[in-house]
Chain A
Amino acid sequence: MALSQPKDAGVVALIDALGAVSDTGCLAAARADALTRVRATGLPTRRDEYWRYTRPDTLTQAEVPTAAVFAHDDAPMFGEIDQVRLVFVDGVFDPAASDDPALAGIVIERLAEVQQRDIHWAKEVYGKLETAGQTPVARPLAALNTAFATDGIVLHVTGKAGKPVSISYLHENDTSDAILHHVIRIDAGADLTLLEQGPGAARLNKVMEVEIGDGGAFHHVQAQGRDHERRAVTHTFARLGTESRFKSFTLTVNGVMTRNECIIELTGDDAVAHVAGASVGDGNFHHDDTVFVTHDALNCESRQVFKKVLRNGATGVFQGKILVKKDAQKTDGYQISQALLLDGDSQFLAKPELEIYADDVVCSHGSTSGAIDTDSLFYLRSRGVPVAEATDLMTLAFLAEAIDEIDDPALAADLLSRLQGWLARRRS
């Protein structure tokens, strides 16, 4: 395969730093193809419209910006929930800390092992959804990930998984640069809950490709850790079959740079996709949710619910799009992005988009930013609730619509207590 000329010097520097692409095993072709694509497109720069509100330089530079390991004594997230726990430390799988991956209804493997085989089903998914997700907007950091991912989890869900699979990403090295790629296939009628937590590395590039068969269901809850200096770019690519369900919720607390992209394609009739996020940031926090939902089948429903609490100069970004193709009649699309600005220094940048080619659809979108409502605050205070507590109460109320997207009450309660902790720590 002839390599095209790289577009910019940055891509050369980063590719050189990452070393050679693995050229054996069942994923070699996908990796080579991804490398060709990222060389052709180059890495994102500030001039790209898609990166207008987020500076990509620290995500694309060859040298990893240092992120001090953040010491805290928080109880492990979702610790009370029965789960199969898989652990990565700075992007390296830790078998000793992980549970035996045997679980009824699901086959759990590691990408590093799968890719050594000549034949494996993962070949049919790895890089495929990512490639499809490059149109109409290029996502070079996802292609880079497909080329260079060192490891990841490969899940084949054949029935109803007996308990959630959880992936913990620990961060112990202040210059770690992790590239992880997960591949998930959910068979027709099968069901999986995936939990993810932790910062992962000083810089984490994570891709997850999820293929959901007819009538299948995928529940996803992730929390990105509260390291102050960590950086992350994540892409979730999902393709949904007939009557399948996709529900994803992300909690982001702190982090100087987070870009979470979610690219969903509804390809089977009557499918449902909900993607939601709550993020809270203080100071030099930058958080970007970029979502692209494509309706390409009849009678599908999609919801995007994103809420951000920003203070002390923090920045929140939302770019959300609903694309309804010509034959996707009876589409029900909803999108809301809202920011609560706790002071005048913080900012929220939003770009909601609808692009609709079908004529029988219901689509709505809204985006707001504002301060705490002074009338409500006074009402609470007049009943004796101190101003700090009243502000917290209203902040949690603001986030409620996003948290309500989590089906499991135990998971929602755990996340809520983390948010309460974050708020309590910030009371002056």
Chain B
Amino acid sequence: MSDPVVVCEGLTHVYLRGTPFESVALRGVDLVVRRGECLGLVGPTGSGKSTLVQHFNGLLRPTEGRVWVDGVEIRPGTALVREVRRKVGLLFQYPEHQLFEATVFDDVAFGPRNLGLDPEEVQERVRESLQWVGLDPDRFGPRSPFSLSGGEMRRVAIAGVLAMRPQVLVLDEPTAGLDPEGRREILSRVRELHRKARLTVVLISHSMDDVARLCQRVVVLHRGQVFLDAPVREAFAQADRLRSIGLDVPRATDVLLRLKAAGLPVRCDRLTVEEVCEEIVRVLQGNQRWSSSEA
């Protein structure tokens, strides 16, 4: 469960080096993604999250530092990089903008066909991937991707990455710009992929609620550096630190923080609505017992 899949060591990335537009996106980032975990990657806009994950599959090369994927160091060498791209599936922000084929089936088949698989294997992978994202292959396969709703298009794009059968799935704000229904659908699919298909998931998100619900560990980036790297409960227990860089804690946790500030002896390392309800009930009942024994 715990061997590393992606390792970054002293990773520094400078954009447009040697021009008047030079900017440092990452400074000496050390990071380990462990096999089978779901890692939340959060940070204010411009903190380097997207730059970081593009190193995971060789789309960007480190200016300094080193990156290993599945025990192999990524170096500029085409064969190796292609192998890495197969292992790490990367879904960009607004991935529905990358759809281009005439039918959903062909679009999802783009990846497997690039791998040079035979038609039966391609067909099988497309059907499987569409099912993983909750789209019926027979109904959606022949349709044009441009006729779908935003949430459906995004699920097709995710299926397109899944069809590569990656070991690691990196999602860059997969729920941005979707309605609540679309968000729920995507998140529950991702959770299923993580739990049932045993995918390692790296989730970039601005929604602390989503991170709290899905992830076991959180890495916070700030100005290109690792600001915090901790299990999800420990991370969100540091509300003040997170707020100091413009981030927040899950809304449910916020309720507990306010109750505590109002004098209720609640513990604040609860993250989901259910946990928070239990905690409030526990404390209230404890109080009742206390007051009744007093009487």
A binds B: no
